[in-house]
Amino acid sequence: MESTEPGSSLPTALPAAPRAADSRPAARPGTGDQDAELATVHVERHGEQSLAVVTGELDMSNSEEVYQHLLDAAKESTSIVIDLVDLAFIDSAGISVLHRIHRVLATAGTAVQVATGEDTAVARTLALAGMDRVLPVTLRPTTADR
């Protein structure tokens, strides 16, 4: 990172912050667990509908991979239910994944539904971000077979 001295146009380098010898990622917000499971996506097909169950944590470190899994899950489907009921954590990158997947699939004519569970951290986060006004959000996943 660089800054400039007052009255000078030449950048001066700032010293790097000291790092601990055992430097590990900080705990995920709300979990206190530094080794929490990252997101997994399990897909079930019910005729022309897909159910994508996302568990673990959806964040910047895995958002593109989850996005690809959701796109793949929606192939040859008329609708997809994204089940986040057991998702422990979602950050802005995860919210962006949901927004992007909804936009891309809606353009392709594929219906998207997101299930969050009742009063979960993910449900509250999506509501705070206003995503419950953009996406069809339900409490439980519903497919033709359920």
Six token digits for residue 26: 């900080």
In tens, the pLDDT along 80-125 reads 999 999 999 999 999 999 999 999 999 999 999 999 999 999 999 9
In tens, the pLDDT along 15-58 reads 433 433 332 333 344 444 445 578 999 999 999 999 999 999 99
∠ CA 36-59-48, rounded to 5°? 105
- Cβ neighbours of 139 (radius 10 Å): 13
Six token digits for residue 93: 């990158």
Q: What does the pLDDT read at residue 52?
A: 97
Domains annotated for the chain, with CATH where assigned, are 35-138 (3.30.750.24)
